[in-house]
Structure 1
Amino acid sequence: MKNTKLLLTVLIAGSLLTACHTNNVSKDTALPEKNPTVKSDSTPKSEKNSSMKDVTKENSRLEEMNLLAKQSKSTEEIYVTGDVVVGENGDVKPGIYDLEITGGSGNIFGNRKDPFSLFINWVAGAPGTSTDYPSKIRIILFEGDTLDFSNISKIKFNAVPEKVEMSNEAGIGEYVVGRDIKAGTYKLSTNVKLDPEFDNLGWSIDIYNNSTKKKKEQTLNSGNQDVVVKLEDGDIISTSLYNSDPDLPSDNARLIFTEYK
């Protein structure tokens, strides 16, 4: 009988110790889950990589243009006696310039070292000439480009500053998205009176992407006034104008970009 009571006491004590141990673990120790949940980025890896590459391309295009602007160096007046060569040892250094015509009037042609780049093709003339041509053209010049002038006798290259204030207006020539105008979607308009009798005369716009080598062409004239364009950082916008407005000098003509949603 005594042995039976002793065994029963031992069993009860053991049960109490086990219960106390279990309570201590549940209160003070975090037990591992059987199937722990691992948090992950929901964006597919391929999409992340693609997005990063696109941002890098945009940045590199814009950085290339900013570095090019840094190389710009104004020239004195140059007599045009032949092709004007762009290069460290040429007539003008690579860069971004306001090309000023100081003598004669005629055509500006040229060849790009990169054959897939934008064409060089404008008409211009010195102030005071009989025909209203622009006397200043914004132009982006790369190493190895050449310029060919017809009936233009004197020119000058005025370096555009490394840092410029963005605007929603552009004149005649070449402008950089992210530098001269911020990226976005825009509806086009102009301060030029578009003559309805000549519905094909007005602005011609090329939007060039140096990375993809793709070019988009657009016009703004009396026959095509409802125009929207999309611009990305690093794009180059090239504009030219056939001005039929007798009251507005071509040097004062502006292509206007209004944000469109």
Structure 2
Amino acid sequence: MTFFHMTYKRNLITGLFLSSVILLGACGDGTNNSLESSENETQEVENSTEEVTQDETNQDEASTLDILNQLATLSTQTDELYVTDKITIGEQEEVTPGIYDLEIIGGSGNILGERADVSALFINWVGGAENNSGDYPSKIRIILFEGDVLEFMNISKVKFNAVPEKVEPSNELGIGEFIVGRDILPGEYKLSTKVKMNPDYDNLGWGISIYNDENGQSRDQTFTATNNDVVVNLKEGEIVSISYTNTDYGSSSDEARLLFSELN
């Protein structure tokens, strides 16, 4: 059971637990209540169980894309935040679950973290304030779930910019995590880029990791100056994590885009 469906399963288990409590309460008070009262309570439990069963049917029908689109509605814009400790994501925390363009305002360094449930969707980025000397990206698209924890190294100030609930799919993606069926349409694509990649650094350029929640696995690919004949197949609901190491210091990482040309 993968994360997105685990969330729904937890809700179902809670519902079944409450139904069990009602049933136990009815049994414990049976000696003091009339037969008619017991029958009414039993009927209430049956109705409650039917509702839970119906909920389970509806929730099983929810696709990964549906759940991620629902997550987008939870995104809450933050002010500029000084980084003084790890940041925990939660409904009652300063940063709520959602989809964000994480903006680095002060410092430059690593953005690490731990996922509460999705272990195969790694948090491992490098970023820096705009116009930083190392030309790291100052904005990174990031998907955050309840209980995730972010840790910043040598970064002093950040801001979480909420991504709108509705977005237009694009075939040009920057740095961060993007959803197939939302940010880019499903399909088979050949990769390219407009930025220059130095062949002297044959292992540097674009890194792509594609997470599939149906099987809980990821598949990885690179696109570099010497490995530039690459095709990827993107399925609805998958999360595409894109990183970029700039080898052309005359260009900006924030403006770099990985291009996806659909194959006929």
**Shared fold per TM-score greater than 0.5:** yes
The reply to whether residue 116 of structure 1 matches residue 122 of structure 2 is: no
Report Cα offsets for 1:140-172 as digits up to 9, x if no partner: 000000000000000000000000011001100
Give % identity. Answer: 59
Looking at structure 1, the residues matched to 62 and 251 of structure 2 have their Cα atoms a distance apart, in angstroms, of 37
Runs of 4+ in 1 over 3 A off after TM superposition: 56-59
Partner residue in 2 for 1:130: 133
Q: Bigger CA drift: 120-129 or 103-112?
A: 120-129
- 3-state DSSP of counterpart to 2:73: helix
Q: Shift of the alpha carbon at 1:116?
A: 2.5
The reply to whether residue 74 of structure 1 matches residue 77 of structure 2 is: yes
Partner residue in 2 for 1:94: 97
Task: Work out which of the two has the higher radius of gyration on C-alpha atoms and give 1 or 2.
Answer: 1
Q: Shift of the alpha carbon at 1:106?
A: 0.4
Looking at structure 2, the residues matched to 130 and 194 of structure 1 have their Cα atoms a distance apart, in angstroms, of 19
The reply to whether residue 176 of structure 1 matches residue 182 of structure 2 is: no
Rate the CA distance shift 1:201–1:112 in 2: closer, same or farther, 3 A.
same
The reply to whether residue 188 of structure 1 matches residue 188 of structure 2 is: no
Which residue type is aligned with residue 260 of structure 2?
F
Q: Shift of the alpha carbon at 1:255?
A: 0.5
Looking at structure 2, the residues matched to 201 and 226 of structure 1 have their Cα atoms a distance apart, in angstroms, of 15
- Corresponding residue to 2:213 among 187, 210, 214: 210
* Equivalent residues of 1:59, 1:233 under 8 A apart: no
Partner residue in 1 for 2:15: none
Partner residue in 2 for 1:38: none
Looking at structure 2, the residues matched to 224 and 91 of structure 1 have their Cα atoms a distance apart, in angstroms, of 42
TM-score for both structures, normalised by structure 1: 0.77
Looking at structure 1, the residues matched to 232 and 134 of structure 2 have their Cα atoms a distance apart, in angstroms, of 31
Rate the CA distance shift 1:167–1:57 in 2: closer, same or farther, 3 A.
farther
- Corresponding residue to 1:249 among 222, 228, 252: 252
Rate the CA distance shift 1:219–1:87 in 2: closer, same or farther, 3 A.
same
Looking at structure 1, the residues matched to 259 and 71 of structure 2 have their Cα atoms a distance apart, in angstroms, of 25
- Corresponding residue to 1:60 among 63, 80, 103: 63
Q: Shift of the alpha carbon at 1:91?
A: 2.3
List runs of 5+ in structure 2 lacking aligned partners: 1-58
Looking at structure 2, the residues matched to 64 and 117 of structure 1 have their Cα atoms a distance apart, in angstroms, of 18
Which residue type is aligned with residue 176 of structure 2?
G
Q: Shift of the alpha carbon at 1:128?
A: 2.8
- 3-state DSSP of counterpart to 2:71: helix
Which residue type is aligned with residue 197 of structure 2?
L
Partner residue in 2 for 1:50: none
Report Cα offsets for 1:105-133 as digits up to 9, x if no partner: 00000000015331101110001322101
List runs of 5+ in structure 1 lacking aligned partners: 1-55
- 3-state DSSP of counterpart to 2:63: helix
Looking at structure 2, the residues matched to 57 and 216 of structure 1 have their Cα atoms a distance apart, in angstroms, of 25
Looking at structure 2, the residues matched to 187 and 195 of structure 1 have their Cα atoms a distance apart, in angstroms, of 20
TM-score for both structures, normalised by structure 2: 0.76
* Equivalent residues of 1:186, 1:260 under 8 A apart: yes
Partner residue in 2 for 1:83: 86
Q: Shift of the alpha carbon at 1:59?
A: 5.9
- 3-state DSSP of counterpart to 1:71: coil
- 3-state DSSP of counterpart to 2:209: strand
